[in-house]
Amino acid sequence: MRNVLSGALLLCSSFVVTAQPKGYQQLKDVNAFQQSLAKSNAAKQTITSDFTQIKNLSLLSEKIKSKGKFYFKKEDKVRIEYTAPYAYLVVMNGGQLTIKDEQKTSKINTKNSKLMQSVNRIIIDCMRGTVFQNSDFKVSAYENGQNYLLSLSPVTDAMKKMFKQVDVHMEKKTLDVDRLTMTETGGDYTDMDFSNTQHNAALNEAIFKVK
């Protein structure tokens, strides 16, 4: 699971006040943001991006760097294809999670695991624009001149065991996710930076199936 994790429509009452991130201020007009985000994501049937990922582990002096391609297709299909420094594939399709490396392929039915459903949903929500509907987290929203920042704090015991916080950075102009930062309970964290994002490219259903 090291590379699986390795937006938005929210009721105002679901927000939680946290320390204001440096360079950001609290988002004042939440309703306008919700409406804009809902409209933007309604028009995005597919999303493709390049990504770079940096994994910061307290036990290692060097950061673990990797890169690859990201594909999303509504409602719930995701392909995360790591191409360097090694080949590694994560595919989410409905209730099925498939992980493939050079040695083996593993399939997990997330419907049988509340925890795996939650992990699966984080990525889906970020791309589908439904982060604020996720009952596993409470959200604080911030903005600066160029970006929105949604800080997700876990509220369920299962998520508290995995994450201290999940931060979703979004470009103001496009409302695309350009960075996803997942901080684990122990302090280790993973940054995924997305670039060259395209909308509504035709995607073959075959890329969301792993043999």
Per-residue pLDDT at 19: 65
Q: Write the pLDDT tens digit of every residue in 78-89.
A: 999 999 999 999
Contact predicate 210/91, CB 8 Å = yes
Q: Write the pLDDT tens digit of every residue in 147-169.
A: 999 999 999 998 999 999 999 99
Best CA proximity match to 191, nearest among 61, 1, 57, 27: 57
Residue spans of the domains in the chain: they are: 24-208
| Secondary structure (DSSP) of 47-71 | EEEEEEEEEE-TT-SS-EEEEEEEE
Q: Write the pLDDT tens digit of every residue in 120-147.
A: 788 888 888 888 888 999 989 999 999 9
How far apart, in whole angstroms, are the C-alpha atoms of residue 72 and residue 47? 5
pTM reported for the whole predicted model: 0.84
How far apart, in whole angstroms, are the C-alpha atoms of residue 97 and residue 117? 10
Residue 86's SS3 state is: coil
Query: 């399709």: which residue's tokens?
Result: 93
How far apart, in whole angstroms, are the C-alpha atoms of residue 114 and residue 131? 17
Distance of CA 25 to the CA centre of its chain: 22
For residues 3-19, average pLDDT: 36
Homologous superfamily (CATH) of 24-208 is: Lipoprotein localisation LolA/LolB/LppX (2.50.20.10)
- Residue 132, φ and ψ in degrees, nearest 5: -75, -5
Best CA proximity match to 47, nearest among 209, 176, 198, 170: 198
How far apart, in whole angstroms, are the C-alpha atoms of residue 148 and residue 40? 14
How far apart, in whole angstroms, are the C-alpha atoms of residue 154 and residue 169? 17
Best CA proximity match to 170, nearest among 148, 150, 142, 145: 148
